[in-house]
Every structure is written in C-alpha cells, then in structure tokens.
Amino acid sequence: MAEFPLFWLLHPACLALLGLMIGSFLNVVIHRLPIMLQRSWWADVQAQLADTESCQTIFGAQAPTRPSNLAAQALDKALQTLSPLDLAVPGSRCPRCGHALAWWENIPVISWLILRGRCKNCAAPISMRYPGVEIANAALFAAMGVRFGTEPVTLLWCLVGAVLLTAALIDWDTTLLPNGLTQPLLWLGLIAAAMGWTLPLSTALWGAVAGYLSLWSVTWLFKLATGKVGMGEGDFKLLAALGAWTGASMILPIVLAASLVGAVVGLGMKATGQLREGVYVPFGPFLAGGGLVVILAGPARVLGWMGWA
C-alpha cells in the first residue's frame, strides 16, 4: 500500500499530464533562451570594446582607442534601455500587443483551444507550435513511463526528453545549441551513472568521450580538406551528452539515424524551395531525435536492428 501513490504518480497518464504542464514552460525557454544568450553576447562585446588595455595589448600602436570607446558607450546606452528578460520575467504576454496573459490563458492546450488560436486582446494568431510542444512533451513523458516503468529514475529520463526537445527546437529556429542545455545534460548523465541509476560510470564516461570525439574528428578532417567549418561545437556537446546517457555503443546508431533523417529532410526542403542557397539544416534536431529513438527503443532492440546482437 505504501507504494500505491508512487505507482500512480509515475503512471504514464500522470506523466503525460506533468509533461503538458512542463511543455508550457518549455515554450518559454525555446523563445527566450536564445534572446538571453544574444543579449549576453552583446554585453560581452560592449565590455571588450571598453577594455582599452586589452585592445592595446592585441593591436599595439594601431589600437583604435577613441572609436572603440565611443562604440562601447553607445552600446552600453542601448543595452541599458532593454527591459529585463529571463525565464521568469516578464510574465507570459502576447508578443504583438504586450497583453499580459491571465492564468486561464496559460492552461496547456486548453487555453489555445478556448482562445481559438488567437490573442484575446488583439486577435493576433497564436502559433500552433505552442500546443504542439506541450503535446509532444506530454507524449515523451508518457513514452518514458512506458519504457522505464514506475520507478523514480523515470523522472530523470523525462527530464532528458524535455531537454532534447527544447534543444532541438532552439537549434532548428536559431542554429544555436546553448551550453546551458547541453552541458547540464552531460553532467547529469555522468552523475546519474555515478549514482548507479543508469549505466555503469565507465560506460557513461566513454560514451561521452566517444560522442564528442566522433563529431569533432569528422569536422576537423572536413575543415582540413575544404577550409570550411561543417558543424558547430554545440553538436559535439549534444552527442557527448547523449553518450553519457546511452553509452559508446549507441553513438553510431544515433549518428546514422540523424544523418539519414537529416539528409531526407534537407533534400525535401531543397526540392520544395524551403532551403535557400547558403542556408543549412541544423544537425542538432536530428541528433536529439536519434537519441530519443535509441533511448525509447532500448539498446538490445537497437543492436538487433544494427545486426550486432
């Protein structure tokens, strides 16, 4: 009887409900985190422009001291005019008219249906992606419940799924894979292994190493051969994080699945005119998708698919 509440709390249906609620927050992260990152980068630019000692060290007699100081002052003034922004402030609001959402306008999926996909104040359309993310996260949480059962560690796997979904959509929108997502996912995977909750620690560690070095080496060789950068470092970190959760033996299946789906999507976008010249399809969403397939299928089934069982 003591296990009865835990059983129901970790039942796939309850996890789906939890996923819906967390999915609403993921929408905030997907929208705001890239903006927060870019703000911090501009603040770094301002600080660097104002650092006359560093400028003198690098450029010597050619250091453009006066122009850089003027630019630093102008940029600092512009940064000061920006309103506060983080994952909690300001509260949810319409991006077009600034209408602050009431609590009943923030209920996952239901609010979107009640409002018929439009802002209550200005009638601006609300993207279907908002309820889509909530539903996708609910489905991921339920799938993790089915895959790992009513065990406390299932909540960790739900967190992994939420982070991968968030990272995939941010990368798709902006071609950025924030360290604030990939690095905690990597460290959490190693800590979970060290605590005996997932893989043996050595398996997780070598999975992280294999994940990072596999993409890093391919990108390095590609740059030597062509002089071009073929992949961002965020992809290395994401695959390293996936390796910490799945082990080195799952790195190749993840990369193969990601490459296959990525190639099909890229060709489809090019054929329909959605992929313009000079624009590339980010690899992160497909790595995240490949990772989720491997996690949900389980290593035994994946090795069977690869003919390695």
* pLDDT, tens digit, 9 for 90 and up, residues 162-201: 999 999 999 999 999 999 999 999 999 999 999 999 999 9
Confirm whether 138 is domain-assigned: no
93 shares a domain with 161: no
Domain co-membership, 179 together with 61 = no
Question: How many domains are there within the chain?
Answer: 2
> Has residue 3 got a pLDDT over 60?
no
Is 166 part of any domain? Answer: yes
Instruction: Give the domain range for residue 234.
Output: 155-306
Tell me: do 80 and 199 sit in the same domain: no
Please check whether residues 106 and 179 belong to one and the same domain. Answer: no
Quick one: 248 and 186 in the same domain? yes
- 136, part of any domain: no
69 and 19 together in one domain: yes
Question: The tokens 């043996």 sit on which residue?
Answer: 200
Last residue of a domain, one of 93, 114, 135: 114
How large is the average pLDDT for residues 295-306?
A: 92
Of 86, 114, 142, which residue is a domain's last?
A: 114
Domain assignment of residue 96, yes or no: yes
The verdict on residue 130 lying in a domain is: no
Domain termination residue (choose one: 55, 82, 114): 114
Which residue, chain included where needed, has tokens 């903006």? 35
Tell me, yes or no, whether 264 and 166 share the same domain: yes
Is 288 within a domain?
yes
pTM of the predicted protein model? 0.93
Instruction: Identify the pLDDT of residue 276.
Output: 62
Residue 187 — φ and ψ, nearest 5°? -65, -40
> Is a pLDDT exceeding 50 seen at residue 2?
no
Classify residue 128: in a domain, yes or no: no
Judged on CB neighbours under 10 Å (0-12, 13-18, 19+), 299 is middle
Q: Does the pLDDT of residue 25 top 90, yes or no?
A: yes
Residue located via tokens 């994080």: 241
Q: Which residues contact 217 (CB under 8 A, 6 or more apart)?
A: none
- Same domain? For 187 and 58 the reply is no
263 contacts 283 by C-beta, under 8 angstroms: no
Runs of H (alpha helix) within 175-297: 179-194, 201-226, 233-246, 251-271, 284-297
Q: Specify whether the backbone of 307 is left (phi greater than 0), alpha (psi in -120 to 50) or beta.
A: left
Looking at the structure, tell me whether residues 255 and 195 fall in a common domain. Answer: yes
Q: Where are the alpha helices (DSSP H) in the chain?
A: 4-9, 12-50, 52-59, 65-80, 110-114, 129-148, 153-174, 179-194, 201-226, 233-246, 251-271, 284-297, 299-306
pLDDT in tens, 82-138: 999 999 999 988 888 888 999 899 999 999 999 999 999 999 999 999 999 999 999
Chain segment 48-87, per-residue pLDDT in tens: 888 888 888 888 877 766 667 778 889 999 999 999 999 9
- Domain match, 51 and 190 both: no
Same domain, 178 and 232: yes
Mean of per-residue pLDDT scores for the chain: 91
Same domain, 173 and 110: no
Identify whether 132 is part of a domain.
no
Q: What pLDDT sits at residue 1?
A: 38
